[in-house]
Structure 1
Amino acid sequence: MLKRVLTIAGSDSGGGAGIQADLKTFCAFGVYGMTAITAVTAQNTHEVLSITALNPAAVYNQIKAIAEDIGVDAVKTGMLFNAEIIEAVVEAIKNFSLPQLVIDPVMVSKSGRYLLESEAIHSFKEKILPHAQVVTPNLNEASVLSGISVLTPDEMKQAARIIHQMGPKYVLIKGGHLAGEEMMDILFDGKKDVIFPVQRQMTKNTHGTGCTYSAALASLLALGYDVLAAVKIVRRYMDIVIRYSLSLGKGFGPTNHLAPLFLKCGLNPEKGGWNW
């Protein structure tokens, strides 16, 4: 049976991030994707026009409907937007014993729009982080969560230790925004750091990379990989989908979630098509 992965996140009308990116990523990894939508955004590659948060009860009921019927092998969360939605999600995590939780602390869109209300940050840290198998902040998100400036690899390691004390089993800080030629992601398990070199790609088309990264990680955890092995595979996947990212729209274009499959089929990842 296909493994079942649930994304609890916002909808991106432009298709590059949020649940749309998650579902494409789930397809790339051969798992069955399900969604609990937290908010509906009207956005494209260069701006977020509006955000409409769903009623927390509606978010809870989406998760309930899935958990009580289809079942869940792994979960990722993305945009949670406010404290009330966070509380509803945490209640569902507890009530339905949702496994293998990957938390992507979505806070700001690529265009600069805030996607998590400032008053919800405390709830995020206190209520949902303790349930995480892995939390995957970028440098800016790591700064908010840890309370320190995170601009260098040493500061990434320090922030990971602070965040780990909040309860997640693993902290994976993504270093794509590091200055200079050498970039890295750092995984901390409470005892040691594992460093993953990151290939710098000369493209602005990185919309949805955080969503894609966490969705890929949740997929691999559902498939039975341990966290260390999963991150190694995800890093290879991210290098490919960013290398073949798409120049769509006037701003930050999306990653190319199915590029590895196109390549395997002998298709041009930038043109797509079918070959089955």
Structure 2
Amino acid sequence: MAKIQESATRPAIALTIAGSEATGGAGAQADLKTFQAHDVFGMVALTCIVSFDPKNEWAHRFVPVDTEVIADQLEAQFAAYTPDAVKIGMLGTPTTIETVANALAGASLPNLVLDPVLICKGQEPGAALDTDNALKAQILPLATFVTPNHFEAIALSGRDSIESVDDLVAAAKVIHEKSGAAVLAKGGVRLAGPDAIDVFYDGATLEILSAPKVGEHAVSGAGCTLAAAVTAELAKGATPIQAAKSAKEAVTAGIHARVSSAAPFDAVRQLNR
């Protein structure tokens, strides 16, 4: 197809490799809305379809996308564009992880943000463990920036628990040592106290990012939005610490503007930056 008009400028481009979450609060839907809110051209390679089951206490129903379809999406995307940053969200199966790792190995990516979804709700425990191990072995070494939540920080660092900011700092340092990536370890509402605390560490800079908690309950899509905001800011040329600070502000604003529904949880809202 012939181009009708050449653009004088090229926007920052970001790709998310993630699952679809049908209600729009998390997953690829949240990622694309976050990219748009940060004035970044966004693409998505879907890895799975996730839908909540309102008849079963809103548990996750998980359906993986065929690996050939995933590979086809990534082939088209990398042929058409060179993303300035890539975010990896839910992959879901060892075969999906292998497919994505193979595609990424042939790409030259300055920024690869991993939101390490270690527990894929809807899978049997054995399958979830296989997925976790594959993610740690094949994707974590490729990452330049990692955004683990409280549970994921425990799993990736090998700690028994994270009960304090000092624990979170220690976990972030271990994850950096294992991966070589910048780390934004999220304490969020999981740590006691009035503030939602996240820890940034990249081997040289250690910074505690704090904002007053907005309630005591987690909000759907906050983690996805944080990682997507980091990805968008890196795509636009921000340093890792600048991206972390901007993402923290964006998520805090989105939680204040959260969307309620008939589900037993609220969803973060992605606001224009």
With the length of structure 1 as denominator, give the TM-score of the two structures.
0.87
Question: Residue 235 of structure 1: which of 248, 251, 260 is its match?
Answer: 248
Match of 2:162 in 1: 150
Shifted more, 62-71 versus 207-216: the winner is 62-71
> Structure 1 residues 251 and 160 mapped into 2: Cα distance closer, same or farther (>3 Å)?
same
1:58 aligns with 2:46: no
> Structure 1 residues 129 and 51 mapped into 2: Cα distance closer, same or farther (>3 Å)?
same
> Structure 1 residues 114 and 158 mapped into 2: Cα distance closer, same or farther (>3 Å)?
farther
Alpha-carbon distance in structure 2 between the residues aligned to 1:113 and 1:185 = 28
1:247 aligns with 2:256: no
> What amino acid is aligned across from residue 173 of structure 1 in structure 2?
A
Match of 1:79 in 2: 90
Q: RMSD of the alignment, in Å?
A: 2.0
- 3-state SS in 2 of match to 1:128: helix
Shifted more, 22-31 versus 196-205: the winner is 196-205
Shifted more, 75-84 versus 173-182: the winner is 173-182
Gaps of 5+ in 2: 1-9
Match of 1:180 in 2: 193
Q: Is the contact made by 2:62 and 2:123 (CA closer than 8 Å) also made in structure 1? A: no
Match of 2:143 in 1: 132
Alpha-carbon distance in structure 2 between the residues aligned to 1:205 and 1:143 = 18
> Structure 1 residues 168 and 44 mapped into 2: Cα distance closer, same or farther (>3 Å)?
farther
Counting matched residue pairs gives 258
Shifted more, 209-218 versus 53-62: the winner is 53-62
> Structure 1 residues 114 and 213 mapped into 2: Cα distance closer, same or farther (>3 Å)?
farther
Question: Percent identity at matched positions?
Answer: 35
- 1:129-182 deviation line (CA, Å, top 9, x unaligned): 111111000111111111212221111122112211222421110110212223
Match of 2:43 in 1: 34
1:167 aligns with 2:179: yes
1:98 aligns with 2:109: yes
C-alpha deviation, 1:56, in angstroms: 2.1
C-alpha deviation, 1:192, in angstroms: 4.0
> Structure 1 residues 33 and 152 mapped into 2: Cα distance closer, same or farther (>3 Å)?
same
- 1:34-85 deviation line (CA, Å, top 9, x unaligned): 0100101122786244211112232122111101113311100110111111
Match of 1:190 in 2: 203
> Structure 1 residues 244 and 108 mapped into 2: Cα distance closer, same or farther (>3 Å)?
farther
- 3-state SS in 1 of match to 2:178: coil
Alpha-carbon distance in structure 2 between the residues aligned to 1:206 and 1:82 = 25
- 1:233-265 deviation line (CA, Å, top 9, x unaligned): 11111111101101122211211112x46xxxx
> What amino acid is aligned across from residue 18 of structure 2 in structure 1?
A
Shifted more, 5-14 versus 182-191: the winner is 182-191
With the length of structure 2 as denominator, give the TM-score of the two structures.
0.88
Shifted more, 11-20 versus 246-255: the winner is 246-255
> Structure 1 residues 203 and 143 mapped into 2: Cα distance closer, same or farther (>3 Å)?
closer
Alpha-carbon distance in structure 2 between the residues aligned to 1:144 and 1:114 = 18
Question: Residue 31 of structure 2: which of 22, 31, 36 is its match?
Answer: 22
Match of 1:221 in 2: 234
Q: Is the contact made by 1:205 and 1:247 (CA closer than 8 Å) also made in structure 2? A: no
- 3-state SS in 2 of match to 1:107: coil
Match of 2:80 in 1: 69
